[in-house]
Amino acid sequence: MDNIQKKSEETNLLFLIVKHWRILTMVTIITIVVSFICACLIPPKYKSTVVLLPTSTNGLSQVVLTDGNYDEYLDVTQFGDDMSVDRMVQLLNSRDIKDHLIQKFNLIAYYGLDTNKKYWQTKLYKGLQNDIKSSRNNFLGVEITVSNKNPQLAADMANEIAYYYDTLKQDIITQRTKLAFEIVQAEMDSLESVIKQTNDSLSIVMSHGVYDYEKQSERLYQQYAKEVASGNQAAIARLDKELKTMQEWGPLSYSLKEKIKNLREYQQVLQAKIQCARVDMQYALSQKFVVEYAVPADKKFYPKKTVIVLVSTISMFILTLFFIVFQQSITNVCHTLKNVKD
């Protein structure tokens, strides 16, 4: 009975801690000292943040050239919605942004990478992915956070990302507006060719004396009635000839004029579209509102020495205690087997 009680005590954690307090204390002290030294040797990093809000409008032409009732979504002062935030985050996390930073700040040299070695690009982009974060906040805004060993470089990179966002988005918009401009311009060129051909046909009709089918017909019939009433055969013969010409070319004249009228109306529509496409292609509004620019941090955010020391100490204490319990369990098993043999 005493043996069972003794073994129970030896496997009790509190008993083991009291029994081996010297070892645990020594391990704890050593861990605190070592982890603190390691934390001091880790290069510090500084963090800078830019806060942006997306806009609700994309094309300048929709803002300054569109007629009609007021639309809040075409107001340059309106902030973007939830979808605009997601699109902004997507662009800010794109590889184009990272490539621009690599070139502008010579980050290949900064990270000390040898382009002749394998996987240098993987290391470069992995480092940027760890140091640069763009995410939405709880207020329909986007936070760009850059961490770096150099506080000034961290702030400069964060502000450069915010600045370059406009360039990147405008390039994407310009690709579409340029294609739209070319399509509408080609349609306009084709339309002008049709208008010219129609005008040439109308000129041929007018060369036969048909200028205004409706007015000329009305005047000729009135005059014809008068000449018939007066019995003037020479005038009637002349008017018969003019009426024949009018009947032959008049409907075509009327049709060509209506066609030209419709083509001119369509030409105005195309002209407005060309103007909008040209404005969107040549000019740009900022695609963001900057709530807060990044400034160099005066206090490092990493490493957290207290957290490192605390986590390391607790982990080492638990690990040491586990080995003590394991060793004690093995010892108890060996004693039990020895007693059974005896």
Task: State how far the Cα of 244 lies from the Cα of 236, in Å rounded to an integer.
Answer: 12
pTM of the complete model beyond 0.75: no
Per-residue pLDDT of the chain (342 residues; tens, 9 = 90+): 444 444 444 456 677 777 777 887 888 888 888 877 776 666 778 899 999 998 876 566 665 555 554 444 455 567 777 888 888 999 999 999 999 999 999 999 888 888 888 888 888 999 898 899 999 988 889 999 999 888 999 999 999 999 999 889 888 888 888 888 888 889 999 999 998 988 888 777 776 666 665 666 666 667 666 666 676 667 666 666 766 776 667 777 778 788 888 999 989 888 888 888 887 777 777 788 899 999 998 888 766 767 777 888 888 888 887 887 777 777 777 777 666 665
Beta-carbon contacts of 16 under 8 Å, excluding residues fewer than 6 positions away, are: 10, 321, 324, 325, 328
Contact criterion met (CB below 8 Å) for 246 and 213? yes
Please name which of 331, 308, 302 lies closest in space to residue 154, comparing C-alpha atoms: 302
